[in-house]
Amino acid sequence: MLDQTPKEIAERKALRINPLKTCQPVGALYAALGVRRCMPHSHGSQGCVSYHRTFLTRHFKEPAVASSSSFTEGASVFGGGANLRSSVKNIFDLYDPDIIAVHTTCLSETIGDDLNAYILEMEIPDDKLVVHCNTPSYVGSHVTGHANMVAGFIKYLADKRAPKNDRIGVFPGFVNPGDIRELKRLLGLMGLPFIMLPDQTGVLDGPMTGVYEMYPDGGTTIDEIRALGGARMALALGEFASTEPALALKTKCGVDSKVMPLPFGVAMTDSFLMALSEISGNPVPRELEEERGRLVDLMLDANPYFYDRSCAIFGDPDTVLGLASLALELGLRPRFLVTGTPGEAFEKRGSALLGSHGALGGARVRAAGDLFELHQWIKNEPVDLLIGTSYGKQLAKAENVPFVRAGFPILDRYGHAYQPLIGYEGAIKLAIKIADAIMDRMDRDCADEDLELVM
């Protein structure tokens, strides 16, 4: 399908081909689903929210509920205030959520709807809540929208008068429920009470019970969000997805935060656990030391197959940086790191990471990039491995490159939302997938007499 991509690279500033991102409302919707009994609400047309729901449903293989202000020509000209007021009333009457989380779309942002004013003026039942955030689709990416929605919950609900408590706030970033489950396990093993915001476990990875529930038994409670105002501190995991919520909590409630990379691989997980140990005063338990030892043992065993093989990594910025760190630890050579989310910070972080391992020479790190450009780079400098989302499968087929799926979205396979990428256990699973992809290619291409059965 992509066989006609030319090798000759032309500079493009006003055009993206096969972009490596989707729009802010997708991230905002996903964040809102991580709050218990919350109805995400898209302030725009029905077509917008239909796309956003479909996108999330295809990745999680679970229904992503959301409502819409259902803009028509009238709302587009005269504003969507009336639509929002009637929507909120109907949603509370028909679906009975505890809270409605409103996010904007490109249409409502362009006409200048003032959601804060609309919410202040509307009649909301005494035991119900409405919050909002601004998520123009033509700025940032789904990662930006996720950050804005989490910050919106904090701005509306975190209570600076909340009693001081020993819990820490944890902003997990734009990750799968499987990653959040692993974070909760690590926090539990370290003996740290916490409040996770958002928490999509039990919502988008719930069990099959035979009974449909619009609001599954999962998500961060409203009381927990309020209690963040009295938290001991906050851990913001992933600079691009969690810095904004951390700043919002500091600004409103004076709660200090520590921004850290997502704990991928050995070094980043080590740093995360050392931070937890410092906060809790507890040593790292033997169970986690043994997990680390198993990961290192696997890395040593398979090193001949990893060492000095080149790779290209693409996807969300925090995930790409984490995957690149693990790749370097395995002995791979990341040649190309690409994200669709704009921002020079990604290029600085990526270049610094590669430089710290002596792997920067000739490598390219690009923010606000796209798969067309990545494909052209690979045509000019072939790589041994491609790591990223489902959208890389056509590129991998066109260039005959082994492909490992990781990140968001994974649309053409099942169960990826359950599998953690973070922590030592996540790194073990990733290392096995990478080794399998490399060795499967070797088995496929080698002569019959070289087909190994004993490694």
For 345-403, how does the pLDDT look when each residue is reduced to its tens digit (9 = 90+)? 999 999 999 999 998 888 999 999 999 999 999 999 999 999 999 999 999 999 999 99
In a shared domain, residues 301 and 261? no
In a shared domain, residues 36 and 148? yes
Look up the domain containing 59 and give its range: 24-157
pLDDT in tens, 69-115: 998 887 777 778 889 999 999 999 999 999 999 999 998 998 898 99
Structural domain includes residue 9? no
**Could you say which of 285, 307, 324 is where a domain stops?**
285
How far is 313 from 336, CA to CA, in rounded Å? 6
How far is 269 from 271, CA to CA, in rounded Å? 5
Nearest residue to 253 via CA among 163, 174, 192, 187: 163
Structural domain includes residue 434? yes
CATH number at residue 258: 3.40.50.1980
In a shared domain, residues 222 and 291? no
**Could you say which of 104, 135, 157 is where a domain stops?**
157
In a shared domain, residues 188 and 226? yes
**Could you say which of 268, 285, 302 is where a domain stops?**
285
Structural domain includes residue 446? yes
Structural domain includes residue 19? no
pLDDT in tens, 151-193: 999 999 999 999 999 999 999 999 999 999 999 999 999 999 9
Structural domain includes residue 17? no
Structural domain includes residue 10? no
In a shared domain, residues 301 and 441? yes
- The backbone torsions φ and ψ at residue 39, rounded to the nearest 5 degrees and listed phi first, read -105, 110
In a shared domain, residues 172 and 276? yes
In a shared domain, residues 438 and 322? yes
In a shared domain, residues 259 and 306? no
- Domains held by the chain: number: 3
In a shared domain, residues 331 and 369? yes
Distances (CA, A) of 257 to 54, 192, 249: 34, 15, 8
User: Which residue in this structure is represented by tokens 């704990």?
Assistant: 263
Q: Cβ distance 245 to 220 under 8 Å?
A: no
How far is 235 from 170, CA to CA, in rounded Å? 5
In a shared domain, residues 337 and 372? yes
Structural domain includes residue 410? yes
Distances (CA, A) of 279 to 7, 166, 284, 295, 375: 51, 10, 12, 25, 44
Give rounded-to-5 percent helix, strand, coil for the chain. 50, 15, 35
How far is 144 from 56, CA to CA, in rounded Å? 16
Q: Cβ distance 347 to 172 under 8 Å?
A: no
In a shared domain, residues 321 and 434? yes
Average pLDDT over residues 125-141: 95
Indicate yes or no: pTM above 0.85: yes
CA atoms within 13 A on the CB side of 242: 24
Percent of the chain with pLDDT over 70: 100
How far is 249 from 160, CA to CA, in rounded Å? 9
In a shared domain, residues 127 and 181? no
pLDDT in tens, 281-318: 999 999 999 999 999 999 999 999 999 999 999 999 99
Structural domain includes residue 455? no
B/e letters for 201-238, b = 16+ CB within 10 Å, e = fewer, are bbbbbeeeeeeeeebbebbbebebbbbbbbbbebbbbb
pLDDT in tens, 411-427: 999 999 999 999 999 99
